[in-house]
Amino acid sequence: MEEKYMNGIKAGVAGGIVLAIVAIIGHFLPLIGCLISPLTFIVWLAIGAVAIYIGPKAVTKLMDAAIIGAVAGVVAEIILLVVNLILGIISSLGSVEGFAITLVATLIGGVIGIVIAAVLAAVVAVVYTYVVLKITK
């Protein structure tokens, strides 16, 4: 696998771990979860820049930056989706209806989150590449 994709995966895993910690805290301590939930948006933005920062030599075009950022966003959000599915299963062990609703809602929210994370991380990666690395093509 190419180095640029590996950089995106590394940044995505790091971002996914942060998102998972925020999700676990928010699940078990709802009041604190409300206070730190905006961290999710910040992580979505940061992983795009981190993906480029990890390996700037792998980026030769702005399109490379967009792809690397999108990969990082997707990986992070897939990790969060798995954690949310596990938390949802734990929460709805008592009823089949609750389990079904939790499963469907988590999957729909996860797909939407994957798209949002990929777009935001790709945009930030392109901006970071343009501003910091001075790549304009």
- As averages over each run of 10 residues, the pLDDT of the chain (137 residues) reads 85 94 90 84 91 87 93 96 92 83 92 95 94 87
Q: Which residues contact 105 (CB under 8 A, 6 or more apart)?
A: 88
Which candidate, 5, 79, 86, places its Cα nearest to that of 43? Answer: 79
Asked whether 24 and 90 are in contact (CB, 8 A), the reply is no
- pTM over 0.85, yes/no: yes
What pLDDT sits at residue 128? 93
What pLDDT sits at residue 94? 79
As a whole number of angstroms, the distance between CA 51 and CA 121 comes to 9
Asked whether 7 and 75 are in contact (CB, 8 A), the reply is no
What pLDDT sits at residue 136? 82
End-to-end CA, the chain: 24
- Helix or strand (DSSP H, E) at 122: helix 96-132
